[in-house]
Structures are given as C-alpha cells and as structure tokens.
Copies of this chain bind each other. A is one copy, B any other.
C-alpha cells in the first residue's frame, strides 16, 4: 500500500520534495534518487534509498513505482518519455518541457499509452484559497467571469541569474495556468506591455503587464513585479457580471502598533505555498498509487509552453500574439 518513489534531481526543490515525501506524507516512500551530481544525490538520499547513476536506470528499476522529476527543464522531455515507456506515473516540476514541439511529443506518447501518467507541478491549484475562489466562481451566484486580475510580486530575484525573459517564460506560467483553471477557459492570445522600469532591478525589464485573451472573451490582466522589496505577494480578483471574488490576505496575526493595523506578508513562495505543495503531493500519491495522475496535465504544460512563447513574441512585437493549440485529446477532458 506504500507508493515507492524515485526522485530525479536533488537540488533545492528535489531535496524539499524528499523531505515532504519522507516526513510529511503518509503512504509513500522514497526508494531511489539520482542527480547529475552523484555526490549530491548520495547526500540527499534518505535511509534505505538506492542511488542510481542515470535517470534511465532509476525509471526502469523494478522497485520504483512512480517518479518525481526535479531536474532542469531541458532534460524533462527524455525523462518523461522514458516514464511513459515504462508505464510509470510521473510528477514533473515546471516547466513540463521547453518547446511546444516537445510538449506535443510527450502528449502523443501519453495518449498512445491511453491513460494519464503525467502531472505537472502547478501547485496553486492545490492551495486552499484558490480552491475556495474557484468554488465561488463555479457556484455561479456572481454570474459569468468577465475579467481576472492576477498579481505576482516577488521581493527580489537573484541578480544576474534572473533575466528579462524570465518574467514571461518562467514566472508567468503560474498566472497563466491558474487563469485557465479558475475560469475554465483557454488562452487564445497574449499581449505584453512594459511600464516604467523599477530602479531596483537595474537593467531588468521589471515590472511587466500581460493581457491574456481567453476563448470566452474574458481578459486576464497580469502584473508581474519581481523586485518589489516588501515580500511575496500573490493576489487574484475575478470580476463577474454581478460581483467580485478575490483571494484573501494570507491569514496572519493582526497587529496594531506604531506601524498601524496590519497583517504580515509572506517572505517567499515557500512560506506562501507550503501547504499547497503538501496537498499537491498528497493527491498525487493517491493518483499514482492507482497508476495515473491528477490535476495539471501534459495538456496544461503544453498550454503553458505556448503562452510563454507567445509572451516572448508579444514583448517584441507589442502586438497581440495568438496562441493556437491542437484539438484537445479526449484523454485530457
């Protein structure tokens, strides 16, 4: 009854997932790890876990029942295809892959296999606040959703490592995925506008504003600011026909002191989404134990890739860049 999992990639996020699967969740055991740096894999391996030389060896090991991919993006396609070939459920951290073509190849393999095996790491869908927000929208008492404002603010990003493309091809995917999910809609076009630049990021293109045009006609308005200094602040507000529904301030003690009546802001994504990550894996463990996946799919990873591509085109063209998806395979309905 305990799911035996192998971990590919033991960097920061891989180590955190090992901790989660080992110490927080029930019904799961980490039995195998690998990393491009085998010493790091050795150090991260929990008691009783075997260290493999290659992802391929880990994926095909008999005692490994399901796989978690935390390697870097360009390695994902091959590892995902390997998992599908082995018929093993796989959790893949974002990005699913790094090109639309790669996403289509993974999707083709999975549909040929005939059952969902791939789950992508869009953890916001497992956050209690987002789930309550979706429940309100889906409840229908506020009428159809017409606009969604998504705000994505980071206190800071690593200088030099975080480039001007990354708000659009790395950060935006969370807002894009959650918009599609909240509204039950697909993205048909992307526009990007670049406001006055923050002096905190030197030459970085920050902030950026993105408009996502949806199939229903709804428009999503995204603000991405990655050097806002004061904390990690994720907001979302859906404008419907007869009312508005929004994420709450994160719960925190209400302090009244010389700075006013106030609630703290999370420091970073770990603090904000730690419970969402736990829930994401809790549900994955159940699904993988049944030989399949739940939540964000290869189709959602494909959509994210297309949006990132369109956003990069749009920032150059300053035009509406269309997103054209293939017909959705029945597997993903």
Contact = CB atoms under 8 A, between A and B. Distances in A.
A253 B147 contact: no
A245 B250 contact: no
B253 A146 contact: no
A326 interface: no
A233 interface: yes
Copies per complex of this chain: 4
A199 B146 CA distance: 10
Interface in A217-275: 217-219, 221, 223, 225, 227-231, 233, 239, 241-265
B242 A147 contact: no
A19 interface: no
A331 interface: no
Nearest to A196: B217
A250 B251 contact: yes
A26 interface: yes
A195 interface: yes
A233 to B, nearest CB: 7
Contacts of A233: 244, 256
A265 to B, nearest CB: 6
Interface string A298-333: 000000000000000000001010000000000000
A152 to B, nearest CB: 12
A230 B242 contact: yes
A255 B199 contact: no
A230 B258 CA distance: 4
A136 interface: yes
Nearest 10 pairs of A and B residues by beta carbon: A26-B26, A262-B262, A196-B217, A243-B257, A260-B262, A259-B259, A244-B256, A229-B242, A195-B219, A251-B251
